[in-house]
Amino acid sequence: MGMNLQWYPGHMTKAKRAMEDSIKLVDVIVEIRDARLPYSSANPDLAGMGKGKKRILVLNKTDLADPRETEKWMAHFRAQEIIPLAMDARKRGDCSDILRQLNELAAEKKAKDLKRGIKNRPARLMIAGIPNVGKSTLINSLAGRASTKTGDKPGVTRGLQWIRLNASLELLDTPGILWPRFEDESVGLKLALMGAIREEVLPAEELALAGMKMLQERYPQALTDKYGIAGDVSPASLTELAEKQGLLQKGAEPDTARAAARFLDDLKKGRLGRITLESPDSGEE
């Protein structure tokens, strides 16, 4: 299985440097991960880069994830003294939880600054995560409530804008983009299945079959419930799916390419149910 991700060392070095520069400006890092892949959507270097900063971990897209698995992951992160939040970044209502948490951190910072005799300024935060986890969506949801841009400031890279969320919180309007643990092939596969990376890790039909197998292992009923396909997944499963879904080519031949595309789209959009592809107890993270 060959991976073909567009993350070359040069890009990575540049992205990492940009991230390190931004991190210097903030007090709090809000890391977003995909709740369907809490391990695979993580960036392994962020903990090191964000040393000494407060960290909030958002499990986003929980509307698509298995609620029982999300609970397990939340407990897992709490035990590591990471502050986890589960949400749907598109819902402004879900932002009140994160704002409450951020206000608490801002109050802690204020108390600390006062003790040290430092003039208090608002706590600054940035949103970071791998592509497509919902960074821009969360920024928009948070900013939509109270969008006062504070403008460029001396000493801050031109173009960086702070959005004032309230008297004690400022949000960097540019998200920190991180790369996934792409050296691990199963991570790339799962990210592609969830639509987190657009790069083709595998030809569509192979990707679909790998996805069907993975789904069957974790949710044995899902394929039967949705498509009426029973039995173990094999290359013939795509033919069966094409027939069941009426995806036929000229001459009534089953169209396995369209069947693969149908399955991948259904999986990504949650039409096969709310699924999570990894658990904290399976040795992941």
Q: Which positions lie near ligand G4P, rule CB under 6 A? A: 60-61, 63-64, 88-90, 129, 131-137, 175, 195
Name the residue nearer to ligand G4P (CB basis): 88 or 240: 88
Other C-beta atoms lying within 10 Å of the C-beta of residue 181: 17
Distance CA 243, CA 199 (A): 28
Q: How far is the CB of 119 from ligand G4P (least distance, A)?
A: 34
Residue 151 phi, psi dihedral angles, 5° rounding: 80, 175
Name the residue nearer to ligand G4P (CB basis): 113 or 199: 199
CB 48 within 8 A of CB 99: no
142-173 CB burial, b ≥16 within 10 A, e <16? bbeeeeeeeeeeeeeeeeebbbbbeebbbbbb
Q: How far is the CB of 90 from ligand G4P (least distance, A)?
A: 5
Please report the DSSP string for 78-94 in residue order: HHTT-EEEE--TT-GGG
Name the residue nearer to ligand G4P (CB basis): 123 or 142: 142
Q: How far is the CB of 129 from ligand G4P (least distance, A)?
A: 6
CA end-to-end span of the chain: 23
Q: How far is the CB of 35 from ligand G4P (least distance, A)?
A: 8
Name the residue nearer to ligand G4P (CB basis): 94 or 255: 94
Q: How far is the CB of 211 from ligand G4P (least distance, A)?
A: 17
Name the residue nearer to ligand G4P (CB basis): 64 or 163: 64
Name the residue nearer to ligand G4P (CB basis): 129 or 280: 129
Question: Do strands 123-129 and 169-172 pair parallel, antiparallel, or not at all (unpaired)?
Answer: parallel
Residue 13 phi, psi dihedral angles, 5° rounding: -60, -45
Q: How far is the CB of 63 from ligand G4P (least distance, A)?
A: 5
225-264 CB burial, b ≥16 within 10 A, e <16? ebbebeeebeeebbebbbeebebeeeeeebbbbbbbebbb
